[in-house]
Amino acid sequence: MTNDYIEDVTFWSADIPTMDPFVVATGTRDVAENVFVRVTLSNGHCGYGEAAPFPEVGGEDRASCLQAFAHLTPSLLGRRVHDYQALGHHLAQQAPSQPAARCGIETALLDAYCRTMAIPLWQIWGGADVRSRVTDITIPITTQEKSVSLARGWYQRGFRLFKMKIGKDVDADVRRLEALHRELPGIAFIGDGNQGFSRKECVAFADGVRRFGGIMVLLEQPVVRDDLDSLAAIRRETGIPVAADESVRSLDDARKVIAQSAADYINIKIMKTGVLEAMEIASFTIQSGLKLMVGGMLESRIAMGCSFGMVLGMKGFDVLDLDTPLLLANDPVQGGYRYDGPTLWPWHEPGLGCSVSIPVHAPTTSIRGDDPTIPSLTLPPRENHH
């Protein structure tokens, strides 16, 4: 363990097209504009991470992530990767408003640490629930005909839980869901409003789905993030479980949601909070008696593998929304967990069990330390919030 100093941090941009425009109530993406990061240790082990900013949801974009990487990574050189918790605390202090960038670095640190320890990433979180799991699949806001076409293709691959992006037009949203309900037997829905509805509109949407007999297992963030009163009212008035997503971007946010009985589920996304705070929120949620959902932005299997590692590491994740690698036109990742239709199969290799290559012509930035035996800063121990 004495030879696990951070020697090099390299990061590069990646454009990964989506198979179809990814349209939500607040914006549209047809290319995932992400950043990959590789941490190299003095013992030769590497760890990989990914920042997947979604400007319309989280406020960060790729340019701000690249700036954050350039600002944050020099202070990591010479530090022991064994100190990943203290390093994560330091990153949060230095860049509190850049969770996606911090997430990329934290994931790479955790991956490198676990490779050094020769354990899968999920082992550091207990390895409590290591088994195959099933994810939903996302249908973006689009025409009724396109919705049916997309859903039919996923249905043929085994998907039965459809996460419908909604929140722009109540009547059109209801018609889209009804068309799928009529076409595809045995399916259920998650309605993800991405803050697009008012309380009244969301109740009308739920009533519309109920009228045609659709099964709505969850309403995810139907209203603006600060309107916890409406979230609580929607739970009462519709009888459908509510998941808080954009409303929870910190542990303090989670406390507020739980104190106001505003949700049944909290959606854990490492891009919203960074990895370590995501784990704190997940633990607090379970201790408070609520349920966990897990999701992501437009991520490859690097970032999503970290989230799947949380699911495998601890109990309590009831709803998996880990589908975005399936929505991308290509997969830049080698190894790691794999998909078989809607089923995610765990990996057992050290760390994330996967890697991503730097494209030949990709502009890269490498931050290197000349003397890894000299720590570049002194960090306090990670505070324990549990």
Report the pLDDT value the prediction gives residue 373, as an integer from 0 to 100: 41
Q: What mean pLDDT do residues 141-158 have?
A: 97
Can you read off the two tokens belonging to residue 333? 């990742």
Exposure on the CB side of residue 178, measured as CA atoms within 13 A:
15
Out of 24-38, 311-325, 357-371, give the one with best mean pLDDT: 311-325
Mean pLDDT lowest for which of 334-338, 347-351, 376-380?
Answer: 376-380
The amino acid that residue 15 corresponds to is D
Report the pLDDT value the prediction gives residue 24, as an integer from 0 to 100: 81
Mean pLDDT lowest for which of 143-157, 280-294, 367-381?
Answer: 367-381
188-192 vs 161-165, strand pairing mode: parallel
On the question of pLDDT at 372 being above 60, the answer is no
On the question of pLDDT at 1 being above 60, the answer is no
Report the pLDDT value the prediction gives residue 376, as an integer from 0 to 100: 41
Report the pLDDT value the prediction gives residue 63, as an integer from 0 to 100: 96
Burial annotation 241-256 (CB, 10 A radius, 16+ → b, else e) = bbbbbbbbbbbebbee
Mean pLDDT of the chain: 93
For residues 10 and 235, give the distance between their C-alpha atoms in angstroms, rounded to a whole number: 46
Q: What's the CATH number of domain 123-352, 3.20.20.120, 3.30.428.10, 3.30.930.10, 3.90.1150.10?
A: 3.20.20.120
Place of tokens 């929607």: 234
Q: What mean pLDDT do residues 24-39 have?
A: 89
Q: What mean pLDDT do residues 259-277 have?
A: 97
User: Which of these, 93, 97, 39, lies nearest to 65 by C-alpha position?
Assistant: 97
Contacts of 317 (CB under 8 A, 6+ apart): 129, 268, 282, 292, 293, 294, 310, 311
Place of tokens 């363990």: 1
Q: What Rg do the C-alpha atoms of the chain give, in angstroms? A: 21
Q: How far apart, in Å, are the Cα atoms of 223 and each of 141, 149, 166, 199, 231?
A: 16, 28, 11, 7, 7
Report the pLDDT value the prediction gives residue 75, as an integer from 0 to 100: 95
On the question of pLDDT at 58 being above 80, the answer is no
Report the pLDDT value the prediction gives residue 370, as an integer from 0 to 100: 57
Q: What mean pLDDT do residues 114-138 have?
A: 97
- Of the pLDDT bands very low, low, confident and very high (cuts 50, 70, 90), residue 369 is confident
On the question of pLDDT at 204 being above 90, the answer is yes
Q: What mean pLDDT do residues 36-61 have?
A: 92
Report the pLDDT value the prediction gives residue 56, as an integer from 0 to 100: 73
Out of 17-26, 47-56, 152-161, give the one with best mean pLDDT: 152-161
Which DSSP category does 83 fall into? G
On the question of pLDDT at 67 being above 80, the answer is yes
The domain made up of 6-119+355-368 is a member of CATH 3.40.50.720: no
On the question of pLDDT at 12 being above 80, the answer is yes
3-state secondary structure of 299: coil
For residues 320 and 66, give the distance between their C-alpha atoms in angstroms, rounded to a whole number: 29
Report the pLDDT value the prediction gives residue 27, as an integer from 0 to 100: 77
For residues 211 and 145, give the distance between their C-alpha atoms in angstroms, rounded to a whole number: 21
Report the pLDDT value the prediction gives residue 3, as an integer from 0 to 100: 81
On the question of pLDDT at 125 being above 70, the answer is yes
Q: Convert the pLDDT of each residue in 227-257 to its tens digit.
A: 999 999 999 999 999 999 999 999 999 999 9
Q: Which segments of 288-331 does DSSP mark as H helices, in order?
A: 301-313, 324-327
Q: Convert the pLDDT of each residue in 314-346 to its tens digit.
A: 999 999 999 999 999 999 999 999 999 999 999
Q: What mean pLDDT do residues 133-152 have?
A: 97
Report the pLDDT value the prediction gives residue 302, as an integer from 0 to 100: 98
Give the N- to C-terminal CA distance of the chain in Å, as an integer.
Answer: 27
Can you read off the two tokens belonging to residue 280? 């704190």
The amino acid that residue 328 corresponds to is L
The amino acid that residue 111 corresponds to is D
Q: Number of helices (H) and strands (E), helices first, in the chain?
A: 13, 17
The answer to whether 193 and 231 have CB atoms below 8 angstroms apart is no
Q: Where are the domains of the chain?
A: 6-119+355-368, 123-352
On the question of pLDDT at 377 being above 70, the answer is no
On the question of pLDDT at 294 being above 50, the answer is yes
Q: Which segments of the chain does DSSP mark as H helices, in order?
A: 55-58, 62-72, 84-94, 99-117, 144-156, 170-183, 199-212, 228-238, 251-259, 270-273, 275-287, 301-313, 324-327
Q: What mean pLDDT do residues 171-195 have?
A: 97
Can you read off the two tokens belonging to residue 178? 């009804």
- Of the pLDDT bands very low, low, confident and very high (cuts 50, 70, 90), residue 380 is very low
